[in-house]
Amino acid sequence: MRTADRKARRRALTILAAAAGFPMLGVRSAMARAPRLEWRGQALGGPARIVLRHPDNQRARQVLSHCVAEIDRLESVFSLYRPSSELAQLNQRGKLASPSHDLRLVMAAAKRFGVLSDGAFDVTVQPLWQTYARHFATRPGDRRGPAARELARAAALVDYRNLDLDEGRIRLARPGMAVTLNGIAQGYITDRIADLLRDAGMTGVLVDLGEMRALDAPGEDPWRIGIEDPRNRGRIIGSLPLRGAALATSGGYGMPFDEDGRFHHLFDPATGRSAAQCLSATAVAPDAMTADALATALAVAKRERTRALLAAFGGSHARLILPDGGVVEATP
Amino acid sequence: MHRRIAAVWRPILAMWLAVATVPFSSAFAEDGHIAAAVLKRIFPAATHFGSVGGAPPAIPAYRNDEIIGHVFRSHAVVRSVGLSGKTLDIAVGLDAAGIITGAEILEHHEPILAIGVSDDDLARFVAKFSGRDARLPIQVLRRAPKDGTAVDAVSGATVSSLLMADAIFQSAIAVGRSRGVLEGGASGIDLTGFEEADWQTLLADGSLRRLVLTLGEVTRPLADKGARLYPAGAGPDDPDIRFIDLVAGLATPARIGRNLLGPQRFNRLVGALAPGDHLIFVAANGLYSFKGTGYVKSGRFDRIQITQGERTFQLTRDDHTRIEQLRIAGAPKFREMALFVLRQDRGFDAARPWRLELLVEGESDAGSVLTVHTLDYGLPGRYIPAAGTAQPRVPSQDLWRAVWLDRLPDVVLLIGMLLILGAIFFLQDLVARRRILYKALRYGFLIVTLFWLGWYAAAQLTVINVLTFTAALRTEFEWEFFLLEPLIFILWAFVAVALLFGGRGAFCGWLCPFGALQELLNRIARRFRVPQFRLPFTLHERLWPVKYIIFLSLFALSLGAFDMAYTAAEVEPFKTAIVMRFVREWPFLLYVAVLLGAGLFVERAFCRYLCPLGAALAVPARIRMFEWLKRRWHCGQQCNICATKCPVQAIHPNGSINPNECIYCLNCQTLYFDDQTCPPLIVRRKRREKHDAEPFAEGV
């Protein structure tokens, strides 16, 4: 049950990529003519895809195999499916004495994003999610949602400021606290893979682990990333260009607890209720971890804070799809 | 178990075992050779093929004058084994780009016939791997999604499927690495080769790698996130100043470590390492300390970590050796230097590339920001001679657990069977007194043994088990190989205990499917009044040793040439009659027919005179602790009924039961309690009847 839910939760972030990356006229470099290589697999329980170009197919495959190993390594840090993963251990024990660099980096970023969004982005919402999941597992289709008392009890555990990250250790300051990195770990992995590919000299790179990152490729058109219609899944209702940056989408529609989609996984930590500001929020930022967190924050925060959040996170573009179907574009 | 002992088919030339030599395909006479037709099928793009060579052995595939790939046998390369623990040999083609061109099974001993899977199913399965990239081993799942990201296992043979995929990819990787198609090498690293080399040489040839970061390169990514390295105005601000100048490399090869540290220090440090463990050398200058100070208190280094493939290695104080001075010519003076131990049992493989990751922490108004800088290291090819003979691959723990789970219903049934058999032995008097119950139990049990244990589950113990076990004891013993066959494992455990208690009979008489087959056929023959021959006891006794000679010959063969012993063990008809259920070439069938035919006239002729497994069991059974078969003093003195009725003539004319021959069928015990057959009981019964008939005679 938990596994299935988590899988579904990942799907919420899925957007469709319209493949591009064709060279512009007149600037056909050897790199741009290089054959395209594509890998599809799994990362943190969701579909993953890596696209790249390199004239030496053998070299490209070798680098790709490094990427697959790196995804595997990071799963053993962040995966909630692996009971031995560092994150699972942290949630179980409430502290980790010697976390890896990767977990420390992501936890520090998570806390900083919490500060920057004034709590709209908060990785300690896991108790809320557990409350909802439990409630709808026993009462599927219930229209009222969990009791206010239960929600209050879970919401009381939610506070990113109770993440103690001093001296290279990680501690959850209150008993019962739990962390989910689903709004940020995919982004981190995406960035690591993109860095690996950039360092190896690959071009035409698109890394898609739910969040997408495209490397800057001179002489190539930007990727066009399709954005899914939240009310008509599988249909694209617009697209954004992506080049040398990352893009992420968050939407409650991806993982509703009930049929109407009133209850979903994007919680407002302030109220413990599912956010209803918009159906989906798409953010473009320099790296995927930031885009990932920013999209979540945008989907949860009040609409008037959109520009301020973009500026605080260093994002370059946001697109919100409102409950009435309206589209809001924002730049900082 | 050492894979060397697993059999590779070779034709047996002159052996007293004429029956075992069959016109079997001997196209694969020597290690690594592959028949031309197979080569052509799995590497169609080639115009011709070279001869087998190199380490691991492979056949180059040519297009005109250019080598475009290799074809090799998985067993010759990685000693691949199947679920049976025996040779699994797959011919695999690998092209120069690292793509598998085709695969074909040459030899396998998977117990697939027992579960209704055909050889064609397996052939179709391995064919699916053509076109796959050897670097990206694909998952094999019971039910794979249709998007091509995984391959469907052969239904009913999931574990065999996993092992076949493993054999294909592991051998392709080993050959690919050794031929320079794929990166990395096997674990064979040249640790001892030494020549004087100075600092510049080691840096230039990649033995040591360097990462230089300026202050600007470190502060820029921090500034992007609104963070500073130092509080404003507190630190240096020239962006070109050297933040860190880091050098790292593997120190275990003598050419690197001995040059760096000098012979004495090097020898002492390397001598203290467990086999397979390695030392990594790290040295740095600049503003930033890679050690930091946290390790003094916490015991772990929080600014550096090593990653390799899917593994992360944290460095701790226990793994750390401080270095004060370098012996190598031309080295700069370093602010800090260290050696760290990387352990093989945690998965470090020095031949594969690794990364040293340096963590730098900055401070922003919203909290700290961490950034990572990496130094990539790959051991230069000069330290990795061409991969030698691959180590045997031991199945992982997970694998045998999966097998046990997979066969759980069979395991439960078998344990139930053994419990019933145990009860029959412990309550043998109760059973033997009741002739109808005895017959029902006896023949019921034999039918289950033959049909379920033998033909369905293929759980026929064989002398090969004995040979592999003793061979494993002499070489490298791995429980995992034996655990891969749950039923065989349980049967052996039971037989071992039964040997201690009573002798070989518990197995021979009750749990041997071929024994059951002979006995049941003989019963049917008797029903049709087929005449039974009883050999004169002296001749019979002289024939007993034959099976010991056969067993000792097999054992002797197994010491020298296990593969020949394996073939010679075909003297046992078990494989043909039970495991392969008669689906085999005619000479094997003829042999079985002769044995079974003989068994119609002389009950269990094979068991009595030829069975090497029976012999192998009789020898340790001499230490048995109990004699539970009841005898009377009359036995052999006045009466030989038991001896004549004994189906295997295990009772001497003097009345004693020869435990080396006894199959513990309990027939003599039913006679022992039968007052219609056993003379002392008849006498006693007659006396009682007479007494009953003449109630008043007593007083006379």
Nearest to B282 by CA among B204, B213, B208: B208
| Residue B395 clears pLDDT 90, i.e. is over it | no
Give domain status of residue B116, yes or no: yes
- CB proximity under 8 Å: A 121-150 to B: none
DSSP A7-32: HHHHHTT---EE---PBPTT---HHH
| Residue A259 clears pLDDT 80, i.e. is over it | no
Q: Do B366 and A112 touch (CB under 8 A)?
A: yes
pLDDT at A80: 79
Give domain status of residue B263, yes or no: yes
Q: State whether B479 and B356 are in the same domain.
A: no
Give domain status of residue B368, yes or no: yes
| Residue B374 clears pLDDT 90, i.e. is over it | yes
Separation between Cα atoms, residue B292 and residue B247, nearest integer Å? 16
Q: State whether B377 and B401 are in the same domain.
A: no
Q: State whether B299 and B357 are in the same domain.
A: yes
Asked if B291 and B303 touch (Cβ cutoff 8 Å), the reply is: yes
Separation between Cα atoms, residue A10 and residue A208, nearest integer Å? 13
Contacting residues of A for B310, CB less than 8 Å apart? 69-70, 72-73, 76
Separation between Cα atoms, residue A206 and residue A37, nearest integer Å? 11
The set of residues, in sequence order, having a beta carbon less than 8 Å from that of B423 and lying 6+ positions away, is none
Separation between Cα atoms, residue A207 and residue A52, nearest integer Å? 9
| Residue B243 clears pLDDT 90, i.e. is over it | yes
Counting DSSP H helices and E strands in chain A, the numbers are 10, 14
Give domain status of residue B349, yes or no: yes
Asked if A73 and A67 touch (Cβ cutoff 8 Å), the reply is: no
Contacting residues of B for A111, CB less than 8 Å apart? 367
Separation between Cα atoms, residue A234 and residue B525, nearest integer Å? 72
Contacting residues of A for B135, CB less than 8 Å apart? 61-62, 64-65
Q: State whether B677 and B597 are in the same domain.
A: yes
Structure tokens at B100: 């598998």
| Nearest CB to B183; choose among A41, A42, A62 | A62
Specify the 3-state DSSP secondary structure of A211: coil
Helix (H) or strand (E) holding B470: helix B463-474
A55 in B contact zone (CB under 8 Å): no
A166 in B contact zone (CB under 8 Å): no
How many Cα atoms occupy the beta-carbon half-sphere of B444 within 13 Å? 10
Separation between Cα atoms, residue B196 and residue B654, nearest integer Å? 83
Q: State whether B551 and B432 are in the same domain.
A: yes
How many Å lie between the alpha carbon of A149 and the closest alpha carbon of chain B? Answer: 32
Nearest to A182 by CA among A211, A145, A208, A162: A211
Strand order of the sheet with strand B278-285? B209-214, B242-250, B278-285, B336-342, B320-322
Q: Do B366 and A116 touch (CB under 8 A)?
A: yes
pLDDT at B144: 63
| Nearest CB to A112; choose among B136, B312, B364 | B364
Last residue of a domain, one of B147, B178, B209: B178
Angle, CA of B505, B506 and B511, to the nearest 5°: 115
A58 in B contact zone (CB under 8 Å): yes
| Cis amide linkage into residue A146, ω under 30° from 0 | no
Q: Which of A50-64, A257-271, B119-133, B292-306 has the lowest mean pLDDT?
A: A257-271
Specify the 3-state DSSP secondary structure of A41: strand
Neighbours of B38 (CB within 10 A): 18
Contacting residues of B for A112, CB less than 8 Å apart? 225, 364, 366-369
Separation between Cα atoms, residue B615 and residue B617, nearest integer Å? 5
CB pairs under 8 A between A and B: 96
Q: State whether B266 and B360 are in the same domain.
A: yes
Structure tokens at B516: 């059951």
**φ, ψ (nearest 5 deg) of residue A41:** -165, -145
Give domain status of residue B14, yes or no: no
Q: Do B311 and A57 touch (CB under 8 A)?
A: no
Separation between Cα atoms, residue B658 and residue B671, nearest integer Å? 17
Please state the domain count of chain B. 3
Q: State whether B497 and B645 are in the same domain.
A: yes
pLDDT at B490: 93
pLDDT at A287: 94
Strands (E), B7-164: 48-49, 59-63, 66-73, 89-95, 100-107, 139-141, 150-152
* Higher local confidence (pLDDT), B22 or B277: B277
Tens digit of each residue's pLDDT (9 = 90 or more) over B530-572: 999 888 888 998 999 999 999 999 999 888 776 677 778 889 9
The proportion of chain B whose per-residue pLDDT surpasses 90, expressed as a percent, equals 40
| Residue A13 clears pLDDT 60, i.e. is over it | no
Which range, A76-80, A104-108, B223-227, B496-500, is most confident? A104-108
A38 in B contact zone (CB under 8 Å): no
Q: State whether B509 and B634 are in the same domain.
A: yes
Find the Cα–Cα–Cα–Cα dihedral B681, B683, B684, B686, rounded to 10°: 120
Q: Do A76 and B376 touch (CB under 8 A)?
A: no
Q: Are strands B139-141 and B150-152 parallel, antiparallel or unpaired?
A: parallel
Separation between Cα atoms, residue B605 and residue A81, nearest integer Å? 59
Last residue of a domain, one of B332, B359, B383: B383
Q: Do A40 and B149 touch (CB under 8 A)?
A: yes
Give domain status of residue B699, yes or no: no
A68 in B contact zone (CB under 8 Å): yes
Tens digit of each residue's pLDDT (9 = 90 or more) over A164-215: 998 889 999 999 999 999 879 999 999 999 999 998 888 888 999 888 899 8
The proportion of chain B whose per-residue pLDDT surpasses 70, expressed as a percent, equals 85
Helix (H) or strand (E) holding B199: helix B199-204
Separation between Cα atoms, residue B511 and residue B495, nearest integer Å? 9
User: Would the CA dihedral through A67, A69, A70, A71 be positive or negative?
Assistant: positive
Contacting residues of A for B352, CB less than 8 Å apart? none
Q: Do A73 and B369 touch (CB under 8 A)?
A: no
Specify the 3-state DSSP secondary structure of A144: coil
Last residue of a domain, one of B383, B414, B429: B383
pLDDT at B442: 94
Separation between Cα atoms, residue A178 and residue B700, nearest integer Å? 100
Interval B266-280 mean pLDDT: 86
pLDDT at B466: 86
Specify the 3-state DSSP secondary structure of B147: coil
Q: Do B312 and A76 touch (CB under 8 A)?
A: yes
Q: State whether B426 and B513 are in the same domain.
A: yes
Give domain status of residue B533, yes or no: yes
The set of residues, in sequence order, having a beta carbon less than 8 Å from that of B124 and lying 6+ positions away, is none
Nearest to B358 by CA among B342, B340, B341, B371: B371
* Higher local confidence (pLDDT), B507 or B116: B507
pLDDT at B85: 63
* Higher local confidence (pLDDT), B572 or B173: B572
Asked if B141 and B59 touch (Cβ cutoff 8 Å), the reply is: no
Mean pLDDT of chain B: 83
Q: How far is CA B570 from the centre of its chain?
A: 21
Q: State whether B411 and B367 are in the same domain.
A: no
| Residue B683 clears pLDDT 80, i.e. is over it | yes
Give domain status of residue B694, yes or no: no
Asked if B244 and B371 touch (Cβ cutoff 8 Å), the reply is: no
Q: State whether B401 and B550 are in the same domain.
A: yes
Q: State whether B379 and B471 are in the same domain.
A: no
Q: Domain range holding B433? A: 397-682
Specify the 3-state DSSP secondary structure of A270: coil
User: What separation in angstroms does the CA of B473 have from each of B467, B550, B562?
Assistant: 10, 21, 14
| Residue B365 clears pLDDT 80, i.e. is over it | yes
| Nearest CB to B309; choose among A69, A77, A109 | A69
Asked if B225 and B361 touch (Cβ cutoff 8 Å), the reply is: no
Q: Do B225 and A314 touch (CB under 8 A)?
A: yes
Structure tokens at B197: 């080399």
Tens digit of each residue's pLDDT (9 = 90 or more) over B614-649: 999 998 888 888 888 888 888 888 888 888 889 899
Q: Which of A89-98, A123-132, B321-330, B464-473 has the lowest mean pLDDT?
A: B464-473
pLDDT band at residue A25 using 50, 70 and 90 as cut-offs: very low
pLDDT at B25: 33
pLDDT band at residue B354 using 50, 70 and 90 as cut-offs: very high
Asked if B91 and B77 touch (Cβ cutoff 8 Å), the reply is: no
